[in-house]
Chains A and B, each alone.
Chain A
């Protein structure tokens, strides 16, 4: 089996469609050099030997795979709803396992401490019980009925509200969260984290959003999400061990970590181990 195992046959984001050039950009995917370019008006990705890799242009980003994906890239039906603002937040590089970047995105308990007075605040630190399942029909991890008190849940939020969340892991390095949409009750704001694994301990993160917000400037929407993600970045770069442990032993989960536990189980079940460690220490 080549480097990456079952994860070779999955789709990964490798650039923003808007930023493509004919000259192309050199980057990496799972340790291998690739070039992402615009060829005849369409995105193209080639590996180090010049071999053309499969390409999908979706959610404002270019997706590719080193292997042979059996399935189409996941969909986010909400993205096509009229009236949503689609936000390409831009890349941020992090020295951490791509799986750790996703796992952090799934965590609620850190909000009051890392995103203080924005996504959480002391003393409102309790994570109430929520539901987690691995949905076999779609082969995704879902966390639902997540509730958390937030001082400024979104750019469009005025004052503190209790925010409802749903989390979805739809690919080994991609997660989508759905949260209360302050200007449009009954609808969900969609915030996605697309992670490009450069190596097992280095990744490029491409956040993406589909929001109902008619008032905010696009730049303010981008900056709000960049602010949140860069608050996480230094924490991610200091997590030990660097590789995400899939077997219990080195880290003790609590009830608030149910989504993380399900994510790790799901990764292990599929042999998605690039950026993970299997043997408990």
Chain B
């Protein structure tokens, strides 16, 4: 499988992240999106007339939507990531995959504006992103009260992987995550998954490294 990739693209990172989590090897083909605009070059437009990345090719199959690529990788190698095989759960996953596009169009566009000088009405983009982040916070908070840590139940699915990058990178577009405690706990749960990989702007969990032993004063107090 060949992934046409850009290191700074959160949508490409969705694919790289899922591939790492399920142990799927990808051949990465770096596309000079910035500053080269290679995604708008003739060969790339021939592959994907929409002029977007990522693009995944596999045996004649050409996929140009990152959520479709996530679906393909999971169905191909790790079906548990599609979510529980019930009508309701499959629909919940599909619902969040569509929601992820709203994040791309709002938080993602705000980040591209603030970081790479992409055009856009920054106030409108931040407004739409804030609305989406509030919906996500409400859903994750409700899920936590039901004892669920992820978007579609109690195990991570492609829904989480689709939403995670643009949420985690929202501060790059001037959208702090401080007001969203459930989002922050959810991000921590994703970053703690076995096989998690980072991208520029999303750091690994240094704090999961072995902690120093119990604090002596605390032990003394408890024993006293």
Contact = CB atoms under 8 A, between A and B. Distances in A.
Interface in A217-252: 217-220, 222-223, 226-231, 233-234, 237
Contact of B7 (A94, A226, A234): A226
A230 B171 CA distance: 13
Nearest to B174: A95
Contacts of B114: 93, 95
The interface residues of chain B, by DSSP majority, are classed as loop
A19 B38 contact: no
Contact of B8 (A16, A113, A218, A230): A230
B214 interface: no
Q: How large is the interface on A (under 10, 10 to 19, 20 to 34, 35 or more residues)?
A: 20 to 34
Contacts of B35: 16, 18-19, 88-91, 222
A204 B114 CA distance: 10
Contacts of A113: 206
B81 interface: no
Main secondary structure of the interface of A (DSSP, over half): helix
B6 interface: yes
A92 interface: yes
16 contacts: A16-B35, A18-B35, A89-B35, A93-B117, A113-B206, A116-B204, A116-B206, A204-B117, A218-B32, A219-B38, A222-B32, A222-B35, A223-B8, A230-B201, A231-B200, A237-B171
Interface of A: 16, 18-19, 88-95, 113-114, 116, 122, 204, 217-220, 222-223, 226-231, 233-234, 237
Interface of B: 6-8, 30-32, 34-36, 38, 114-117, 171-172, 174, 200-201, 203-204, 206, 209
